[in-house]
Structure 1
Amino acid sequence: MFSNKRYRWWQAAAVGLLANAPTALGLTGQNSKPFYQDLDQPPGAPPAWAFGPAWTLNNVTTLWSNLRVANAPEGTPGRRAYLALEGVGWGLFAAFTPTFFGLRSPVLGAVDSVAFFGTTLASTALATQIDKKAALALLPRLAWTGFASYLALGVARRNDDPLFDG
Structure 2
Amino acid sequence: MNVIASKGQLRASFMRWALFTVPLLVLLGYLGGQAGSPDTFWFRSLVKPEVFPPPAVFGIVWTILYIMIGLALAMVASAWGASGRGVALVLFAIQLALNLSWTYAFFGMQSIQNGLIVIGSLSVVLIATVIAFWRVRRAAALLMLPYLAWVLFATFLNYEFLRANPDGGMQERPAETQRIEL
Q: TM-score, normalised by structure 2?
A: 0.76
Residue 120 of structure 1, CA deviation = 1.7
Structure 2 residue 56 is the aligned partner of structure 1 residue 46: no
Gaps (5+ residues) in structure 1? none
- On the 8 A contact 1:69/1:79 being kept in 2, the answer is yes
> Is 1:122 matched with 2:128?
yes
1:65, 1:134 within 8 Å by CA — same for their partners in 2? yes
Any idea what the Cα deviations from partners look like across 1:106-125, whole Å, max 9, x if unmatched?
Answer: 01111111111112211111
The runs of 5 or more residues in structure 2 that have no matched partner are 1-6, 171-182
* Stretches of 4+ aligned residues off by more than 6 angstroms: none
Select the residue among 8, 23, 48 that pairs with 2:17: 8
Q: How does 1:80-119 map to 2 (within 5 A)?
A: 80-119=86-125
What's the C-alpha RMSD, in Å, of the aligned pairs?
2.4
State the identity %: 25
User: Contact (CA 8 Å) 1:32, 1:101: kept in 2 or not?
Assistant: no
Matches of 1:162 and 1:61, distance apart in 2? 34
Q: What is the Cα deviation at residue 14 of structure 1?
A: 2.3
The amino acid of 1:46's aligned partner reads P
Which moves more between the two structures, 34-43 or 44-53?
34-43
1:34 and 1:83 map into 2 onto residues whose CA distance is 39
Greater relative contact order (Cα 8 A, min sep 6): structure 1 or 2?
1
Corresponding pairs, count: 159
TM-score w.r.t. the length of structure 1 is 0.83
Instruction: Point out the structure with max Rg over C-alpha.
Output: 2
Q: Distance in 1 between matches of 2:121 and 2:39?
A: 23
Instruction: Give the superposition deviation at 1:80.
Output: 1.2
CA distance in 1, matches of 2:169, 2:161: 13
Offset at residue 8 of structure 1 (A): 2.3
